[in-house]
Structure 1
Amino acid sequence: MDGDPLQEVIKAVIKQYESHVMPKIGSFRKDNGRHEVSGVLDFSLLAIDYYVFEVAVTIAYMMLENPNPLDVGGAVLAGWESVTVLSDEEKDSLFLLVLGRLCQSLVYGRYNVIKYPDNDKYLLTTAKNGTRLLNKLWELGKKEVERKWFTDASTFSDK
Structure 2
Amino acid sequence: MSRGDDLQSQALTKPAFSETQASALVESVFGLKVSKIQPLPSYDDQNFHVCVSRTKDTTDGPTEYVLKISNTESSKTPELIEVQSHIIMFLRDAGFPTASVCRTKGDNLTSLVSIDSGSEIASYLVRLLTYLPGRPIAEIPISPQLLYEIGRLAGKLDKTLEKFHHPKLSCLRRENFIWNLKNVPLLEKYLYALGQSRNREIVTQVIQLFKGEVLTKLGDFRECVNHGDLNDHNILVEAIKSAPEGATYHVSGILDFGDMSYGYYVFEVAITIMYMMIESKSPLHVGGHVLAGFESVIPLTPVERGALFLLVCGRFCQSLVIAAHSCQLHPENKEYLMITAKTGWKHLQQMFDMGQEAVEEIWFQTARSYDSGIAM
TM-score normalised by structure 1 residue count: 0.92
Residue 97 of structure 1 corresponds to which residue in structure 2?
Answer: 311
Q: Secondary structure at the match of 2:196?
A: coil
Counting helix residues as a fraction of each chain, which structure ranks higher?
Answer: 1
| Structure possessing the higher relative contact order (Cα contacts under 8 Å, 6 or more residues apart) | 1
- Cα displacement string for residues 60-113 of structure 1 (whole angstroms, at most 9, x for unaligned residues): 000011111011100011000001110111100000000000011000000000
Q: Secondary structure at the match of 2:281?
A: coil
Match status 1:28 vs 2:242: no
Distance 1:155 1:41, change over 3 A: farther
Counting strand residues as a fraction of each chain, which structure ranks higher?
Answer: 2
**Native 8 Å contact 2:207 2:314 kept in 1:** yes
Q: Which amino acid aligns with 1:14?
A: I
What are the equivalent positions in structure 2 for 1:56-95 lying under 5 Å apart? 56-95=270-309
Residue 331 of structure 2 corresponds to which residue in structure 1?
Answer: 117
Structure 1's consecutive aligned runs of 4 or more residues displaced over 6 angstroms after TM superposition are none
2:206 to 3, 6, 13: 13
Q: What's the offset of the Cα at 1:45?
A: 2.8
Amino-acid identity (%): 43
Listed as ranges, the gaps of 5+ residues in structure 2 are 1-193, 227-252
Distance 1:103 1:54, change over 3 A: same
2:266 to 46, 52, 66: 52
For 1:130 and 1:18, the matched residues in 2 are separated by 22
Larger Rg: 2
TM-score normalised by structure 2 residue count: 0.40
Q: Secondary structure at the match of 1:48?
A: strand
Distance 1:44 1:65, change over 3 A: farther
Distance 1:27 1:10, change over 3 A: same
Distance 1:32 1:7, change over 3 A: closer
Q: What's the offset of the Cα at 1:41?
A: 5.8
Q: Which amino acid aligns with 1:116?
A: H
C-alpha root-mean-square deviation of aligned residues, in Å?
1.5
Listed as ranges, the gaps of 5+ residues in structure 1 are 34-38
Q: Secondary structure at the match of 2:263?
A: coil
